[in-house]
Amino acid sequence: MSRVRKGKMTKDNYDKTLSLLTGVLDYEKFKSVDLAIETVVENVKLKQQIFAELEQHCPSHCILATNTSTIDLDLIGEKTNSQDRIVGTHFFAPAHIMPLLEIVRTPRASLQAVVTMLDVGKKIKKTPIVVGNCTGFAVNRMFFPYTQAALLLVDHGMDVDKIDQACIEFGMPIGPFRMTDLVGFDVALATGMQYLENFPERVYKSMLIPLMTEDKRTGEASQKGFYKYEGKRKASPDPEITSYVEESRRISGATPDPELLKIDNSAIAEMVFFPVINEACRVLGEGIAFKASDLDIASIFGMGFPPYRGGIMHWADSIGARRICTMLSEWEMEYGQFFKPCSHLLERAAEGLPLVRTMFVHTAVW
């Protein structure tokens, strides 16, 4: 109805669209479906159970898709014999605003399944990219350091609101903490555990979100998160989070860094986004993303990266791999291995080569 109220859809079209939906309480009507998309919470066992049931009740040609944002598809489908028709279809929140559709293909997924999902993306007016399979896939994996870098800065003395404002000034629609409040702490914790299990050596282990969750501060839905909320999503700074920040610092052993507090908003944005570039280089180096331009498109359409900067990789090349490596190495010495430059980025920097023009040869048959 919000689209009707905003004049983006007529009431007749709304009623017609709604009439096409049918609610069911069992799998009886799944015998004739061509596409089944699962959208439950990030719980591996629950997703495995659902896919085993879908395989049993859906026709053999039905594509089985999951809207997981982080969980490896091989893990989700390991209790089925249908890996050839299992794909990821990751819509980005809020789905009615973000135009990206990330289609995840495992080595065992059929070409037909991918082509069908590309057609679905076109019909629902999304911009699709096809990526490989791993924890977080291309986009969420690339951006998981975004919030983690912000949490590290808070543990070392910086204010939540200052970091968010620096990211907004950089061109993001909202900052990392406001974004975490929007998606909810339950999602943040679930995805964080996936990254911790799969990439433990480069996850910054902040206790701030777990501590707040214990006191039922779970984001915008609970009216309290990193901000407090009144009315229509109006966020305002909340001095109550100071006690959680102090406890998080105590547990992590971090102390406020006076020099860090002197840096300007431009430098804050670099400390938040250079780790994103670093992870994007890993995604490219591993062949999870097939070309740098896919990550540029994904960063803009999926994560709200400012379009006028050309996308995350284009922006990286405007700075230069050498400078990015130099800064990451300095921060690694000061704040730990979270900032350690990856081998792909180090190689490009050493050779003086740009990141965007990287070409890869793949053995997969398309």
3-state secondary structure of 227: strand
Q: Helix, strand, coil % (nearest 5) of the chain?
A: 55, 10, 35
Beta carbons of 233 and 220 less than 8 angstroms apart: yes
| Catalytic residue, candidates 57, 61, 90, 314 | 90
Q: How far apart are CA 76 and CA 138, in angstroms?
A: 17
Beta-strand (E) ranges in the chain? 35-38, 63-66, 86-91, 100-104, 127-131, 227-230, 234-237
Are the beta carbons of 146 and 276 closer than 8 angstroms?
yes
Contacts of 179 (CB under 8 A, 6+ apart): 147
Indicate if 57 belongs to the active site: no
The SS3 assignment for 93 reads: coil
What distance in Å separates the CA atoms of residue 207 and residue 204, rounded to the nearest whole number? Answer: 10
Q: Which residues are catalytic?
A: 90
